[in-house]
Chains A and B, each alone.
Chain A
Amino acid sequence: MNVMTCGDPDEAVAGIEDGSTVLVGGFGTAGMPADLIEALVRQGATGLTVVSNNAGNGDTGLAALLDKGRVRRMVCSFPRQSDSWVFDRLYREGRVELELVPQGTLAERLRAAGAGIGAFYSPTGAGTLLAEGKETREIAGRTHVLEYPIKGDVALISAHRADRMGNLVYRRTARNFGPVMATAATTVVAQVREIVDIGALDPEAVVTPGIYIDRVVQVVPAA
């Protein structure tokens, strides 16, 4: 048990190095670790590879990180949204690279990284642009595409509640990428709405066991 309870989001993101691969949880704004991303903007690491389902909304959070030129490469499934103007502009200007990954393949590549799987074959994307240049194999009469894990140096995720062991519970669809990203990075940072004492979470209800978590920080939601 070696979970650091941080006093604020700035402490929680301290030490993230230039050129890191950063996994960022959330689907749209649900489960988005907004305070950790804002702290990362202040922290200043640059040349980042960011792995996240979307590529920022509006002008805050991931969009602010992109806008400041800190992101060299985005790995995501759905960058284009009605309010993704920051990413759209940078992409069209050739100032950010994009690796587009089908959403389920993104989740499974993260899961594979966390589970120590070397690579896996998936039928998703076979025969499409997104499989070009990838190894394929016929398995049970179906074309499968070889996919490699995505491992992060850091994961920034958001959960509902943590205990001081780092055990996490989520709330509703804000769970999304949190549990798989928590397994897939060297250093995992969780922002939560409440940190509770050891023993206060029902062990049967824990979704992410504390073994995966390195730092937690409590962020009181804006009223």
Chain B
Amino acid sequence: MANVSDRPDAGIPPAEVPDLPLPHPHTWWGRYVFSQDAKYIAIQYSGTAIAIGLVGLVLSWLMRLQLGFPGIFDFITPEAYYQFITMHGMIMVIYLLTAIFLGGFGNYLIPLMVGARDMVFPFVNMLSYWIYLLAVLVLVASFFVPGGPTGAGWTLYPPQAILSGTPGGQGAGIILMLVSLILFIIGFTMGGLNYVVTVLQARTRGMTLMRMPLTVWGIFTATVMALLAFPALFVACVMMLFDRLLGTSFFMPALVELGETLSYGGGSPIVFQHLFWFFGHPEVYIVALPAFGIVSDLISVHARKNIFGYRMMVWAIVIIGALSFIVWAHHMYVSGMHPYFGFFFATTTLIIAVPTAIKVYNWVLTLWKGDIHLTLPMLFAIAFIVTFANGGLTGLFLGNVVVDVPLSDTMFVVAHFHMVMGVAPILVIFGAIYHWYPKMTGRMLNEAMGQIHFWVTFIGAYAIFFPMHYVGLVGVPRRYPEIDASFITTPVAGLNAFISVAALVVGAAQVLFLFNLLWSLRAGRAAGPNPWRACSLEWQTPDTPPVHGNWGKDLPVVYRWAYDYSVPGAPEDFIAQNDPGPRIEKDVPL
């Protein structure tokens, strides 16, 4: 057994982590509205994200109604359809997934998991939420302005995004969208600084980086990436605002729109695409890495087994994070950029598949010879592996430049990215909520409702997006409000109707989930401090739910990694991280 003193940094004199002064609220407003407690901010973030996510869900229903049963719903005009897809995409990617993973889970779990009392800059953390809320409100406001929200597609490609041929292009829609994004980025940066510096500076004694749960690794790496990637979207949004409002030509070439020569000239839409995807690709991993981290922990806890290949998992997270900054142009193979970029970006894209595949293997290998409790979090984790493997593998089609040529801009792409960054991360969010709800509220979520929610969501979502790949293979382009039978040899109307019915059912199941969240708050079974018998620190708090300041008088001291499950010779099948524990000789090969 390796000795602690073998470590190179063992000679550093012991130092206590300085206890941070906590801003204690004195008023009702300070406690429940302008709270500076990361856990409370987390709940505010998640609540807002879920609320706006419901809007996104309803928009997806409307789109599917139009696609599945064209011609029946008169109010879904092409203009409305484009507004629905744009707002659906933007809401889901940015305002739901990014916000809930980083603002929600990041805020709740980071301080608890690293043994801190709170985030290091609580006031900035609070501001982050309020600016996020403002961004959401500006976004929602665009539904109510004349001309409605923008219908430029979530990619907001100029020139069409700011021209009159696109809904909201010459109205306030696009302006509000850009302003909302700029606000979101400012708010996120404030929160992101907190998450990063808390992990860097506020870990409790003994919590080395390699003892952190993978959840923290995932959220930390994703936050670093987001801090570096979101500025690209910021720059693109600012420049587009100038083009739209002040007549500059950053992205706007000379053009004749519907017979009228506009005053723009010389700009390049491709520059926008580069900036957008420089943000847009890392964004995929900003959503995926927290999901990777969380699902690793869910699998490990509920299979009562340490995560297989922890070191490899950490390295893979870091490597994926770094590589994701040099693959962005694989979204632009048919954009008209220099064709030779295709060689470089196809290669980097397929290289990133290797560490990603290793993560999938390690999740499955963690189950091997485990003691698998098929709890709801575990079920969602299994469903994540299936959908993520499916979506990840179809990514190999689209990343391989020449295979992408026939498939790009078809429904295949829509199916791929929904499976890999829609369904898979959302399944993790559900699993995580079923897993941590007991800690957040002290009560378990209702199991029966959870089972129905799980099976409908998993099977339903697979039934939506698996067949959708084939709609794309036939050749149906994405962003078509109407797929008539005229242009394809194989009619897809029947398949589309099936997909739409599945989408409606899956959406309805989420209502049950929301009901369960509220119902279990009162009626759920009491959970106790550590219902899953998990090792990581957040389950070891003196109070459940944890109070402001998280820990009692003293911060916990960490003696081991977060995965000491089923250690041979141990009396129980888990040893908490802050448990000095019996000294057990672990008989494992070095």
Q: Do A and B come from one complex?
A: no
Q: Which residues of A contact B (CB under 8 A)?
A: none
